[in-house]
Structure 1
């Protein structure tokens, strides 16, 4: 009589793979919420002190600030959409992006994307030029098509923004019941999974990027649907650069590995500006680099601009946050904390028997409802 067939262990959802037995280290491609020893923390701190002991001259720092757009354009021209892969973990970490009120569909979508994540995680040893995150490779770009007006492929000038909004308050997505903006959309590796997964007819997704090349990649993708999405070039640090939607019109703003690319002195103004776009109850969702991430430890002397702020070999820049820093940015902008956690992940390359420690911070901050005005009380 044949032995009963052993049932396969259930797949652990992304974010809940906990390494409890060191002997099982290479059984998965990644482990979540890994505890660091005091020795590991001290070693990381020492490496950061070493690689930040020599700062770039001020004139070089100014050059990287002035030419930031060109460096990101060059990055996307070189890599197009081949450097990043679609972020299929989105709906596990941020269920706010999945179809509203459709729990079954949300669950099915998460399981489907987790399956893809599991099968595609093997090549996580890449950490080129300090560009280390969940991204490694994207799927092949689909057939190209143009579906966005030419005026939207340039950074929106005030008069063009007014034309888009219309005289009667009409603007792209104005009839939608649920509006999402992704800032720093890159090649669309967040936007397209949202559009593919969330078929809510009331959904409208805006996406913008500093780089015209990146926005072109989004607009030229066969998955781009101008009836559900609006891609535009935008400089977050330029307060005169308008958004195509009015204040208090968005339900969600997404910042994924984006805020870290901005000069630290400009971050507060950026967060405050984005918070104005949120409706009461709207949320900013952030995932970004945490202090002592692998990417920070790999920098060499001469690449540091200021404390925890570096320039990569390709001219793009990156900052590494603490939870308190992000909490200060969001609460100063008038938002309330819903989530602020550190995810210390251990990525594993089973083929090469390599381990890589990643540190990311994930946040959710909500715009509180405006206080109701109190009526005048009658005096007796």
Structure 2
């Protein structure tokens, strides 16, 4: 399924600089002296020890917001919340037609096939930041870790799976990279990384909201499930079945690594007429769907089946310094563990 296209498109079109999960660099004059806590000095960056800290570039009342390309933990003010509510009301007033709602929900995989056919390989950026955000990936790929199974759901073009392959030192690792887009799976299978994997990776077509487990995946065999900007691509009616399948695949104590869109994200606020399907659920111009979550909502959904190890909101204020534009991004990141004993 999808990369975080809202983030990638924003960075590409507006040259915004350093991002969470992006490798571009802000253009700060060499003569400008930057305090370590604002420059993300590795010696003081809490992300090294606490992945859910989400950076340390805090915006104070004395700071010029346009000094940097991005600020961490910036909660939108009342005026922005009011603007968002105005946008949501306008979206609800001009919903998608009943005809389009039916066709976008009936066969969502065909829209993802079209998406992957249209995008060049340079559109997709490797998610090298995942290992920092989810240290368990270091544990399962280290030498001597023993038999470990990773299941990436919505693997897309392989931009999570292939970086894991490149860092892997565990000869007993098995990585299943699944997607319900045939074109996405075809793209992975044609990649050089896939050919070089010596059978470590298996790319398969699979619908997480279907009735069966992925090909080759036994019940209770998976150590780590990766879901990055995937849950949001499902119709809310599909969530219960998806959780059932994930629970079936995981070992007791196995973990889900989760990251997705939060309500109020720039990508949601900017939707125009004819894209609203239901509250927080939209169809993009290319026919793919996206949902925007509240933290409390995810606590209810995942907490009913899994133990919640971590769940927090990653807020960013993105600044286009040249055009003097401020944009709020909001993602939610979590780790969910399958209960050791289920009733």
TM-score range, shorter chain: 0.7 to 0.9
Query: In the alignment, is residue 355 of structure 1 matched against residue 326 of structure 2?
Result: yes
Q: Corresponding residue for 1:197? A: 167
Deviation at 1:57, TM superposition (A): 2.8
Q: CA deviation at 1:226?
A: 4.1
Instruction: State the distance in 2 between where 1:192 and 1:29 align.
Output: 29
* Per-residue deviation, 1:354: 3.4
Deviation readout 1:225-254 (Å, 9 max, x if unpaired): 142111111122221464421111111111
Q: How many residues align?
A: 295
Using the alignment, how far apart are the partners of 1:7 and 1:317 within structure 2?
A: 41
Determine whether 1:83 maps to 2:130: no
Counterpart CA distance in 2 for 1:90 and 1:322 is 22
Structure 1, residues 61-80: CA drift from partner, whole Å, max 9, x if none?
A: 11111231111111100004
Q: What is the CA–CA distance in structure 2 between the aligned matches of 1:43 and 1:195, rounded to whole Å?
A: 44
Partner SS for 1:56: coil
Map of 1:310 onto structure 2: 282
Query: Partners in 2 of 1:197 and 1:8 — Cα distance?
Result: 33
Contact 1:97 1:198 (C-alpha < 8 Å) held by counterparts? no
Paired residue for 2:134?
94
- Give 1:32 shift: 2.2
| Separation (CA, whole Å) in 1 of partners of 2:167 and 2:320 | 29
C-alpha RMSD of matched pairs (Å): 2.5
Report what 1:120 is aligned to.
Answer: none
Match of 2:96 among 41, 56, 60: 56
Q: Does 1:182 align with 2:152?
A: yes
Stretches of structure 1 that go unaligned for 5 or more consecutive residues are: 1-5, 106-174, 373-380
Query: Which residue does the alignment assign to 1:219?
Result: 189
Question: Given the alignment of the two structures, is residue 367 of structure 1 paired with residue 320 of structure 2, yes or no?
Answer: no
Contact 1:34 1:346 in 2 (8 A): yes
Alignment gaps of 5+ in structure 2: 1-32, 48-53
1:87-139 Cα offsets, whole Å, 9 max, x none, are: 1211121111124496xx9xxxxxxxxxxxxxxxxxxxxxxxxxxxxxxxxxx
| Residues 260 and 318 in structure 1, CA contact (< 8 A), matched pair in contact too | yes
Q: In terms of mean alpha carbon deviation, does 229-238 or 292-301 score higher?
A: 229-238
Q: 1:350 to 1:178 in 2, by over 3 A?
A: farther
Residue 341 of structure 1, CA deviation: 0.8
Shift of 1:213: 0.9
What is the match of residue 233 of structure 1? 205
**Is 1:73 the equivalent of 2:73?**
no
Instruction: Pick the aligned partner of 1:33 from 73, 91, 105.
Output: 73
1:299/1:99 CA distance change after superposition, 3 Å? same
Q: 1:184 to 1:228 in 2, by over 3 A?
A: same
State TM-score, norm by structure 2: 0.79
The structure number with the bigger radius of gyration is 1
Distance 2:136 2:73 in 1: 22
The answer (yes or no) to whether the contact 1:209–1:215 under 8 Å persists in 2 is yes
Contact 1:80 1:217 survives alignment (8 Å): no
Q: Give 3-state SS (helix, strand or coil) of 2:193's partner.
A: coil
Contact 2:312 2:333 in 1 (8 A): yes
Give the CA deviation at 1:353: 4.2
Q: d(CA) in 2 for partners of 1:322 and 1:273?
A: 23
Matched, 1:338 2:329: no
Q: Measure, in 2, the Cα distance between the counterparts of 1:28 and 1:228.
A: 42
Q: Deviations over 1:292-348 (max 9, x none)?
A: 11000010121111111111111111011111221222123x211111111111223
8 A contact 1:29–1:349 mirrored in 2: yes
The Cα of 1:176 is off from its aligned counterpart by: 6.0
TM-score by length of 1: 0.72
